[in-house]
Chains A and B, each alone.
Chain A
Amino acid sequence: MNNIVSISIDGKEIKALKGENLVNVARDNGFHIPTLCYFKKLFPLATCRICTVNINGKNTTACTTKVDDGMEVKVNTDELLENRKAIIEMLFAEGNHFCPSCEKSGNCEMQNLGYIMGITHTRYPHLYREKPVDFTPHRMLMNSNRCILCKRCVEEIKTKDGKRVFSFVKRGNRTTVQIDYNEERKLTDNEAIHAMQICPVGAILVKGVSEGKPFGERKYDFLNKAIRPKLKRKKFELKEGEKFVVGTTSLAGCFGCHMSLLDIDEELLDMIEIVEFNKSPLTDIKRFSKRCHVGLIEGGCANEENVHVLRYFRENCDVLIAFGECAIMGGIPAMRNFVPLKETLEEAYLNGVTTVLGADVIPASEDIPKLLDKVYPINEVVDVDYYIPGCPPNAQHIWKVVKSILLNEEIPISHEEFKYD
């Protein structure tokens, strides 16, 4: 029996088998240590670092720790929780994660961690670095925009004669995963699908095979866990007979977010009881006639007019909310960030399939707003107070956030309402 040791996790005394993996011991005792690269107990990869816990005063990854007598483990201190969030945010900033157009969305482990941690946006500037998408392999394709370099595929996928199919190439921030074309051919169909499935994100895809499940049936669509957004609430005082004032606008967006805004059906009537719209495409008011309590911004900044409008909103709204992926991270318009501006213009006006034969003019005039060098998420242009993710964001999510800000109440958002796609 001397194989049983005592440890404590966040103050709770626990008995465990000496040498057991800490992630598993914690899980069996009701403590969830989030993991991302962790995959096989025998082979901790320790690349993502989000399972970092504090053991006897020192930070270490739980996935590489074997429990031993007297360990004092801290899992959920404010600092550790904050660090985990920051690491996921780093990954969102480093890669090019356009969840609305990703095959893995809904089945993606990183996205799910984002949901669980209530991440609405990344604190870091998006890097928008061009990354290869390799279609050459026989059966698979490798989309480095989404690869988080967790190393699972590198360590796990080998041919029958023991050769690696995936390898890290280059180093530091230029590291990518590359497929060995010859070895890849040797994999069976099932082995290829296995590779796709162990990839925690949507980087490895098998041609012609999709995990395609409809919304609602995907792996992480329901977790029955409500998200409690941290809102910086100010108490708004209204005078007798006054309503809350809301402004909205669509910058480089598709108006989808505005459509969603109207999607609360008859609740809209209750809403109108307490809210009036000022400057907004819904009212067609062009200039603010009053100060707004809340401003809702759809779309990122693609041109100088977007910047002027956004600043105008910031000046006239107490609380500014980015709603929708385009406002939060650039979204579809930001896909041009990987292409030189000149090429973008030429594609749009001269060479693209939708231009007329012989088109030879890129229009320019003082009346056409100048394009920015890239599409900016709005928080890189002005300070933003809150973010509502989704493409489009769920209508309930939008109104719950707005209501909770206006009425100063905490309104939990359910997992189904909190989505990046």
Chain B
Amino acid sequence: MKIYHNPQRKQLMSVIWEIQRKKRCVSHDDITKIAKLFDLSRMEVEGVVTFYHFFHRQHAGNFTIYLNDSIVGKHAGMEEIKKVFEKELGIKTGHVTEDKMFGLFETSCIGLSDMEPACLINFKPFVNLTPEKVRYIIRALRDGSKVSEIYDVPKSKIRYTPGERTVFFNGYERYSALKYLEKQPGDLIDLIKLSKLSGRGGAYFPTGLKWEFARKNKADKKYLVCNADEGEPGTFKDRVLIQEKPELLIEGMILAGYAIGASEGYIYLRGEYMYLKDNLEKVIGNYRDKGYLGENIAGKNFNFDIQVHMGAGAYVCGEETALIHSMEGKRGEPGTKEYFPVEKGFLGKPTVVNNVETLCAVTKILDMGVENWLKLGTEKTPGTKIFSVSGDCKNPGIYEIEWGMKVNELLELAGADNPGYILHNGYAGECLNPLDFERPISGEGVVPANVSVKNPGDYKQKMSGIGVKSGGAFMIFNSGRSILEIIKNVQQFFVNESCGVCVPCRVGNFLLNIKLNKILNENTTKKDLEELIHWSKIIKSNSRCGLGITSSNALMDTYNKFPGVFEKLVSGNNHQNGKLDLKKATREYEKIITEIYSDYE
């Protein structure tokens, strides 16, 4: 373990990580020691450790295995894979073998949706699992193989790029965009504003404007953070960009840092992508060696360096204010929204948080020239966009498409033969009905959320020109799939990932999930459905951060666009006396009494 002198709070997570990786758990005594080191109360450190999924208070096994529990993994056969793991290891999921050799856990989407079923073992990926492969892995590990010897380096599957109109995935000569460091920061911001680039993390906030706010706010220090938390189920484009095009990211960060006047840059990399860290740091090192990071960059009075901060398993930490708290060594709870990060962000200083793809786009836009970028795509959304396509299709993987492509065309490219339901923005977005397939993928036309399909013809006509915008996840499900199973997985995800700080999301999503399970398993009345929707709206309109605001999008949209799905569950029995299943409620008592009386004999 490194010796830390007077450590700063922002190093807290990396210290915890170090202990977790070395000892496979963070014990009571460890927490006491960490608290002492950082001069914090013990319980506060306990609060940080227990917030993150990948920090364990109990030994998590020398080989800590995380299975992806997203619906795409399930459809690809994860249930069977899980059973094989359980059988081979002799433990149930959520447990550790007696000899502490293996720990088996489930976790939210690990960003490998194009290679499911997949898992992480000691944070190294294993993809396209089959029962044989699982048996082989366990045998090899038992026989002394190292994880690093047998894991799969995920091969990027770039399935489609729009020929010579490609932006991200074509040639790029290193450092060439950095000539823009010759310009004044304000001019650089103007160029980005001109390009109409907007945030690719999903919120689509205009990037140039965000930079301008940060530039204008006076402070002795400013920060730039790259959001590489990529937690949205079904998204994996940032992984591929970091693997294939790290130079675009680093140069985008240097340019952004220069434009806003930042002196430090951070890449918040999700724990699930630990295997990308070494190479990323190597590339950063190269830039440092070349003098593009460090002091007096490009002969200017511009000092800037980049470091990688590891997340530890929390979807909510992708939310920018939660991400900042996490970097500060705190629980990853979103802020109160009293200030924007560009006003008071990391350590209270103006901070710009940008998505990986946004920063990569910056490099390419400058390199190709804004005027060329504006020739691509549509009026409001120029350029191209990277989609992570997964689910029921022949060619899951990465698609760089020009904005304006029709949903149908993307489906065709992906080789989806019978698509019936699409989650076009991961779990937090809305869903698409086949009636939406002729709509363009773009930011054109306002998208009125939750339009219901009453009359299919009218709906189709009304929506035909209206764009479909997305953060990049495109999960395809065949007509034969149970939509309810998908929705159940989505709602469970939000229950697992809510940070718990605000009431509507913490309690509301939990109660909503109970209601959903009741609807799926018991006598359902029309009133149950009305409550399901009403409760969803309450969560949506009162939650603190985007997680709670979007957690019921897919559910409500499904209700509106696929009316039959829920309605067919209504058993018509609106009987005011039919609420309790008496047989079920007395079953436990009967069992106890039978057991006792057979014991007496």
- Quick one: which of A288-307 are within 8 Å of B by CB? 301, 304, 307
Beta-carbon contact of A148 and B593 below 8 Å: no
| Cβ contacts under 8 Å, A342 to chain B | 592
Beta-carbon contact of B50 and A52 below 8 Å: no
Stretch at the interface among A88-96, A237-245, A261-269: A88-96
Residue of A nearest to B332 (CB): A171
| Cβ contacts under 8 Å, B542 to chain A | 49, 52, 59, 83, 87
Closest Cβ of chain B to A265, distance in Å, is 35
Closest Cβ of chain A to B55, distance in Å, is 11
| Cβ contacts under 8 Å, A127 to chain B | 510-511
Closest Cβ of chain B to A155, distance in Å, is 11
The reply to whether the CB of A323 lies closer than 8 angstroms to some CB of chain B is no
| Cβ contacts under 8 Å, B584 to chain A | 373
Beta-carbon contact of B580 and A307 below 8 Å: yes
- Quick one: which of A370-407 are within 8 Å of B by CB? 370-374, 376, 380-383
| Cβ contacts under 8 Å, A169 to chain B | 43, 46-47, 50
| A306–B412 CA distance with the chains assembled, in angstroms | 60
Residue of B nearest to A365 (CB): B593
The reply to whether the CB of A364 lies closer than 8 angstroms to some CB of chain B is yes
Beta-carbon contact of A173 and B506 below 8 Å: yes
| A341–B589 CA distance with the chains assembled, in angstroms | 7
Which one, B498, B507, B509, B588, contacts A341 given CB within 8 A?
B588
| Cβ contacts under 8 Å, B593 to chain A | 362, 364
Beta-carbon contact of B586 and A86 below 8 Å: no
Residue of B nearest to A54 (CB): B541
Which one, B43, B509, B597, contacts A183 given CB within 8 A?
B43
Chain B proximity mask over A34-49: 1 for CB below 8 Å, otherwise 0 = 0000000000111111
Beta-carbon contact of B582 and A304 below 8 Å: yes
| A166–B579 CA distance with the chains assembled, in angstroms | 41
The reply to whether the CB of B508 lies closer than 8 angstroms to some CB of chain A is yes
| Cβ contacts under 8 Å, A183 to chain B | 41-43
The reply to whether the CB of A165 lies closer than 8 angstroms to some CB of chain B is yes
| A52–B576 CA distance with the chains assembled, in angstroms | 34
Closest Cβ of chain A to B333, distance in Å, is 8
Beta-carbon contact of A314 and B500 below 8 Å: no
Closest Cβ of chain A to B277, distance in Å, is 24
The reply to whether the CB of A172 lies closer than 8 angstroms to some CB of chain B is yes
| Cβ contacts under 8 Å, B509 to chain A | 173
Beta-carbon contact of B576 and A382 below 8 Å: yes
Chain A proximity mask over B501-518: 1 for CB below 8 Å, otherwise 0 = 111101111110010000
| A395–B336 CA distance with the chains assembled, in angstroms | 44
Residue of B nearest to A49 (CB): B542
User: Which of B498, B584, B588 has its CB near the most chain A CB atoms (within 10 A)?
Assistant: B588
The reply to whether the CB of B496 lies closer than 8 angstroms to some CB of chain A is yes
| Cβ contacts under 8 Å, B356 to chain A | none
| A61–B541 CA distance with the chains assembled, in angstroms | 11
Closest Cβ of chain B to A255, distance in Å, is 24
Beta-carbon contact of B338 and A44 below 8 Å: yes
Which one, A52, A86, A307, A373, contacts B588 given CB within 8 A?
A373
| Cβ contacts under 8 Å, B1 to chain A | none
Stretch at the interface among A174-182, A218-226, A412-420: A174-182
Beta-carbon contact of B507 and A93 below 8 Å: yes
The reply to whether the CB of B590 lies closer than 8 angstroms to some CB of chain A is yes
| A383–B579 CA distance with the chains assembled, in angstroms | 8
Beta-carbon contact of A173 and B43 below 8 Å: no
| Cβ contacts under 8 Å, B446 to chain A | none
- Quick one: which of A23-65 are within 8 Å of B by CB? 44-50, 52, 59-61, 64
| Cβ contacts under 8 Å, A341 to chain B | 588-589, 592
- Quick one: which of B322-346 are within 8 Å of A by CB? 331, 333, 336-338
Which one, B44, B500, B541, contacts A172 given CB within 8 A?
B500
Contacts across chains A and B counted by CB atoms under 8 Å: 185
| Cβ contacts under 8 Å, B337 to chain A | 46, 60-61, 64
| Cβ contacts under 8 Å, A178 to chain B | 43, 46-47
- Quick one: which of A147-191 are within 8 Å of B by CB? 148-149, 151, 159, 163-175, 178-180, 182-183
Residue of B nearest to A363 (CB): B593
Q: How large is the interface on B (under 10, 10 to 19, 20 to 34, 35 or more residues)?
A: 35 or more
| A62–B577 CA distance with the chains assembled, in angstroms | 42
| A364–B42 CA distance with the chains assembled, in angstroms | 50
| Cβ contacts under 8 Å, B47 to chain A | 167-169, 178
Residue of B nearest to A320 (CB): B576
Residue of A nearest to B541 (CB): A59
| Cβ contacts under 8 Å, A314 to chain B | 576-577
Which one, B51, B496, B541, B592, contacts A170 given CB within 8 A?
B51
| Cβ contacts under 8 Å, B333 to chain A | 168
The reply to whether the CB of A333 lies closer than 8 angstroms to some CB of chain B is no
Beta-carbon contact of B46 and A167 below 8 Å: yes
Beta-carbon contact of A83 and B538 below 8 Å: yes
| A186–B589 CA distance with the chains assembled, in angstroms | 49
The reply to whether the CB of B188 lies closer than 8 angstroms to some CB of chain A is no
| A208–B337 CA distance with the chains assembled, in angstroms | 40
Report if A164-B41 is in contact (Cβ < 8 Å); known contacts: A45-B336, A46-B337, A172-B500: yes
The reply to whether the CB of B347 lies closer than 8 angstroms to some CB of chain A is no
Beta-carbon contact of A93 and B576 below 8 Å: no
The reply to whether the CB of B353 lies closer than 8 angstroms to some CB of chain A is no
Closest Cβ of chain A to B432, distance in Å, is 26
| Cβ contacts under 8 Å, A347 to chain B | none
Report if A380-B582 is in contact (Cβ < 8 Å); known contacts: A87-B504, A172-B496, A364-B593: no
Beta-carbon contact of B44 and A180 below 8 Å: yes
- Quick one: which of B474-517 are within 8 Å of A by CB? 495-504, 506-511, 514
| Cβ contacts under 8 Å, A48 to chain B | 502-503
Closest Cβ of chain B to A166, distance in Å, is 8
Beta-carbon contact of B502 and A182 below 8 Å: no
| Cβ contacts under 8 Å, B597 to chain A | 364
| Cβ contacts under 8 Å, A90 to chain B | 503-504, 507-508, 511
Beta-carbon contact of A149 and B501 below 8 Å: yes
| A315–B41 CA distance with the chains assembled, in angstroms | 59
Chain A proximity mask over B250-287: 1 for CB below 8 Å, otherwise 0 = 00000000000000000000000000000000000000
The reply to whether the CB of A124 lies closer than 8 angstroms to some CB of chain B is yes
User: Which of B495, B498, B506, B587 has its CB near the most chain A CB atoms (within 10 A)?
Assistant: B506
Residue of B nearest to A168 (CB): B47
| Cβ contacts under 8 Å, B535 to chain A | 86
The reply to whether the CB of A131 lies closer than 8 angstroms to some CB of chain B is no
| A165–B39 CA distance with the chains assembled, in angstroms | 13
Report if A171-B500 is in contact (Cβ < 8 Å); known contacts: A44-B338, A345-B592, A364-B597: yes
The reply to whether the CB of B40 lies closer than 8 angstroms to some CB of chain A is yes
| A325–B402 CA distance with the chains assembled, in angstroms | 62
The reply to whether the CB of B71 lies closer than 8 angstroms to some CB of chain A is no
| Cβ contacts under 8 Å, A229 to chain B | none
The reply to whether the CB of A311 lies closer than 8 angstroms to some CB of chain B is yes
The reply to whether the CB of A114 lies closer than 8 angstroms to some CB of chain B is no
The reply to whether the CB of A118 lies closer than 8 angstroms to some CB of chain B is no
Chain B proximity mask over A194-220: 1 for CB below 8 Å, otherwise 0 = 000000000000000000000000000
| Cβ contacts under 8 Å, A311 to chain B | 577
Which one, A44, A174, A373, contacts B587 given CB within 8 A?
A373
Cβ contacts A to B, 28 pairs, < 8 Å: A46-B544, A61-B544, A90-B507, A149-B500, A149-B506, A163-B41, A163-B44, A168-B47, A169-B47, A170-B51, A172-B495, A172-B506, A178-B46, A180-B41, A180-B43, A301-B580, A307-B582, A314-B576, A342-B592, A362-B593, A371-B586, A373-B585, A373-B588, A373-B589, A376-B585, A380-B579, A381-B579, A383-B577
Known A-B contacts: A48-B502, A173-B509, A382-B577. Give 6 more (CB < 8 A).
Answer: A93-B507, A149-B501, A168-B500, A304-B582, A315-B577, A373-B588
Chain A to chain B: the 10 pairs with minimum beta-carbon distance, closest first: A180-B43, A383-B576, A175-B500, A46-B336, A167-B47, A90-B507, A163-B41, A167-B43, A370-B586, A180-B41
- A interface list, Cβ under 8 A from B: 44-50, 52, 59-61, 64, 79, 82-83, 86-87, 90-91, 93-94, 123-125, 127, 148-149, 151, 159, 163-175, 178-180, 182-183, 301, 304, 307, 311, 314-315, 341-342, 345, 362, 364, 370-374, 376, 380-383
